[in-house]
Amino acid sequence: MRQAVMPKPGTIDIHEVEKPMLSDDSEVLIEVKKIGVCGSDIHVYHGKHPFTPYPVIQGHEYSGKVVQVGAKVNKVKIGDKVTARPQLICGVCGPCLRGDYNICDVLKVEGFQTPGVAQDFFILPEDRLIKLADGMSFEMGALVEPTAVAAHCTLKARNLKGKNVVVTGAGPIGNLVAQFAQIRGANVLITDLSDYRLDKAKDCGIEHVSNPKTESLAKGVDRAFGSEGFDVGFECAGVEIALDQLIQNINKGGDVVAVAVYGDKPRVDVSILGDRELSLIGTLMYKHSDYEEAVKYIESGEISTAPLITKNFPFESYLDAYKYIDKQGDETLKVIIDL
């Protein structure tokens, strides 16, 4: 089978390797169909991901079809469409024992610290699988993972119902966070330097958008929410200035949730955090319930995914997909690898 390996930043090699074989009765073999390229993957491609060694097999946003099941597997059957959480956990550390396995003390994530799914076939245990509805396409399935990120992080802030919310960064994660915040009852303003991405946000039902190149955050907030201001911010751009703008402009006592992965470490004005009693909240990945919620809302159409897909590349052109993202920059949302 084909396997894509990144031996070092900026390089992807396609190899022929042996097809994996089931070794446990609880395992499932899937034929990978679609892989989404994530912003974190791009950090790895540029050598800027803080927790990824090389060589690495990438791929953690994906969908596939079940082609073989172990004797004890009973949740899925051959032919089912599936996706899966890419988290490998210990199950015995403090976070795991209290149910916060997404922040396991020795967490490994497929595509980063352990091999991902950039290959024709992949084996994983049944307990990490999520069955997709028959009506969901494989492309929708590949977008469950980033949607689960949005499901999880929008639960980290205090109750969003009726709250005014600002999302900085209208890439795929920011877009999905904005959509999920609306599902949870929030009024949302999303910001980005790219009019293309802001137009896509509108296509996904986000009413209020603002471009910092033409409008300050304060003016955008005033236009969207008037004198009420905003109580919750989700930082999805991954740049210091976006985080700082949320901290400087949010209402006193507000919640700022840092969602993005930062290639360069940002500085935070802690004096403002203290003076205004702001809560700066971290969030990491998701839990199984977040995946289930993501599937529910994608299937129902309440989360819109089609506008997010910019371009598809065949598996053999994996490296070209990264080059395309670098070249197109802000004119790109989600690039999909077809197997």
3-state secondary structure (DSSP) of residue 188: strand
**Is residue 337 a contact partner of residue 187, using CB atoms and an 8 Å limit?**
no
pLDDT digits (tens, 9 = 90+) for 202-241: 999 999 999 999 999 999 999 999 999 999 999 999 999 9
3-state secondary structure (DSSP) of residue 300: helix
Going by pLDDT thresholds of 50, 70 and 90, the confidence category of residue 330 is confident
3-state secondary structure (DSSP) of residue 63: strand
Going by pLDDT thresholds of 50, 70 and 90, the confidence category of residue 14 is very high
How many CB atoms are closer than 10 A to CB 248? 12
3-state secondary structure (DSSP) of residue 234: strand
pTM: predicted TM-score of the whole model, two decimal places: 0.96
Q: Tell me the two tokens of residue 304.
A: 């819109």
pLDDT at 25 over 80: yes
* Longest alpha-carbon distance in the chain: 62
Query: Measured between alpha carbons, how far is 148 from 293 in angstroms, rounded to an integer?
Result: 7
Amino acid 49: pLDDT:
83
3-state secondary structure (DSSP) of residue 48: coil
Find out whether the peptide bond into 55 is cis, omega within 30 degrees of 0.
yes
Give residue limits of the domains in the chain.
Answer: 2-143+305-338, 156-282
Q: What is the CA radius of gyration of the chain?
A: 20
Amino acid 39: pLDDT:
86
pLDDT digits (tens, 9 = 90+) for 130-148: 999 988 999 999 999 999 9
pLDDT at 191 over 80: yes
pLDDT at 263 over 80: no
Q: What is the mean pLDDT of residues 41-60?
A: 92
Task: Write down the residue that tokens 């976070």 correspond to.
Answer: 95
More confident residue, 330 or 260: 260
Amino acid 264: pLDDT:
83
Report which of 240, 195, 241 is spatially closest to residue 214, judged by C-alpha positions. 195
Amino acid 265: pLDDT:
87
Task: Write down the residue that tokens 């994608």 correspond to.
Answer: 298
CATH of range 2-143+305-338; options 3.40.1160.10, 3.50.40.10, 3.40.190.290, 3.90.180.10:
3.90.180.10
CATH 3.40.50.720 fits 156-282, yes or no: yes
End-to-end CA distance of the chain: 11
Going by pLDDT thresholds of 50, 70 and 90, the confidence category of residue 182 is very high
- Kindly give the pairing relationship between strand 232-235 and strand 279-282: unpaired
